[in-house]
Amino acid sequence: MKISKTHKEFADDLKDQTALEYPERFLGPNWKNVLNFWIYLDTLSDEDFDIVTKRYLDLDADARVSAWDNAFKATEATICDDYVYVIWYSAGIDASVYATLELIASHKLETLNFLPLFLTP
């Protein structure tokens, strides 16, 4: 299995290297989608991240906060709270964090608001 920078950072921040071998224990039922997204993040340039950040900031502030709140609550209902906070530090820019949370809890969310920000950056 290919290990992304974010996955490695997550395991390091968690201080539990078993997160590399058994990500399903830490990332919930949608762990494969999360790992694929993190591998995708490794392919993006600084310019790509700038584009994503601009898209993120262009979202209506109230809608952004509401979407973040929904993703956060759904993720907390899916995986251990401690893991949610470690992802916060591991996943990079805000949009990457929120997209990761959406992927973890995608089976509980009606809409993904942050993941589409990464499409064709």
DSSP 31-50: HHHHHHHHHHHHH--HHHHH
The residue to which tokens 């993941």 are assigned? 115
The domain locations on the chain are: 5-118
Global model pTM greater than 0.95: no
Would you state the pLDDT for residue 88? Answer: 86
- Token pair for residue 97? 């964090």
Digit-coded pLDDT (tens) for 79-91: 998 899 899 888 8
**Residue 121: pLDDT band with limits 50, 70, 90:** low
Would you state the pLDDT for residue 77? Answer: 95
The residue to which tokens 């906070």 are assigned? 85
Helix axes 61-76, 81-90, angle to 10 degrees: 130
Digit-coded pLDDT (tens) for 52-77: 999 999 999 999 999 999 999 999 99
Q: How many CB atoms lie within 10 A of CB 119?
A: 8
DSSP classification of residue 92: -
